[in-house]
Amino acid sequence: MKKRIVAGNWKMHKTSREAEDLVKEVLEKLDTVDLKKHNNHVVFAPPFVYLQNLGKLLQGMTNISLAAQNCHSEPKGAFTGETAVQMLKDVGCEYVIVGHSERRSYFKESDAFLKQKTDAVLAAGLTPIFCCGEMLNDRKNGTQQSVIREQLEQSLFHLEKAEMQRVVIAYEPVWAIGTGMTASPEQAQEMHAFIRNTIEEVYDHNTAHHLTILYGGSCNAQNAASLFSNADVDGGLIGGASLVADSFVEIIKANSAQ
C-alpha cells in the first residue's frame, strides 16, 4: 500500500527545549489517531543540532520518523560544516530532504549535485524526499511541466526501477512557499498527476502508482483537507504550520482521513 506522509520541515526554528516540547505535544495529540489504518506516516525534520535527541525520543515508534533537512553527497572528507548521510542514519534519521527550493535558490544547488545527494541517501538505505517545483515566472509562462520534467530527468531518472520505488517526491511550487499563496487543489492535482504520469512513462505503472507524492507550499490546517482529497496528492511537506502542534496535528488528521 502506498504511504501517505505528512512531513514537518522546521527549517531554522526552535530551541532545544522547544523542539522536544513540540514533538512531545504532537505525539500526545496523536494518541487517538490510528496511523497504521491507511499507512499514514509522520515525519519530523528539525534542525541538525536536534536530530540526535529527537532520534532517541522517537526510537521504536511505528509510522513516526525523523528526517534531516539536507545532506552532503560524499561519505566523509574535508567539507567543513557539512553532514554525511551515514552520520544522519547513525542518529536515527530514516528520511533526508533533497533539493528543497531554498537549497536550490540560496545555496545554488544544481540538479547534478542533487543527483549525487539522492544516490548517497539511497546507498545508505534511507529515503530521499526529493523536492521539485517551478518559479512564478514558469507558472506565468505556462512552462511549469517542462521545468518539473527537467528536474526529474536530471536528478532521478538515472535510477534503477527498484531505487525509484524508494523515492518520495515533494512537489513545491516555489511561488507558494512561505508566501501565504497556495496552489489551488486543482493546480496541485494537475501537477501531481503530471509527475505520476511522467514516472509511469519512464518506468512503469506499478512504480508510478505506488510512489508517494507530497504537496509543499503554504499548506495549513485550513486547506489541507481540500489538497489531500485529490487522487494524486499523498500528503504534504509542511513548513510554518509544522511549528505549532495544533496545526500540524490537524494536517496529519486531514491526511489520515483520506
Distance CA 213, CA 205 (A): 15
Q: How many residues are there in the chain? A: 258
Catalytic site residue 153?
no
Q: Is 209 in contact with 142 (CB distance < 8 Å)? A: no
Catalytic site residue 158?
no
For residues 216-227, one letter each, b for 16 or more C-beta atoms within 10 angstroms of the residue's C-beta and e for the rest, the string is bbbbbbebbbeb
Distance CA 18, CA 39 (A): 29
Distance CA 246, CA 22 (A): 10
Q: What are phi and psi of 62, to 5 degrees?
A: -95, 130
Distance CA 254, CA 258 (A): 7
Catalytic residue among 94, 100, 192, 250: 100
Residue 250, CB-side half-sphere exposure with 13 Å CA sphere: 13
> Can you read off the three cell numbers belonging to residue 255?
491526511
Q: What angle do CA 212, 215, 220 make, to 5 degrees?
A: 130
Catalytic residue among 94, 102, 172, 250: 172
> Can you read off the three cell numbers belonging to residue 212?
508517494
Q: Is 214 in contact with 173 (CB distance < 8 Å)? A: no
Dihedral angle of Cα 152, 155, 161, 167, to the nearest 10 degrees: -80
> Can you read off the three cell numbers belonging to residue 51?
536530530
- Cite the active site residues: 100, 172
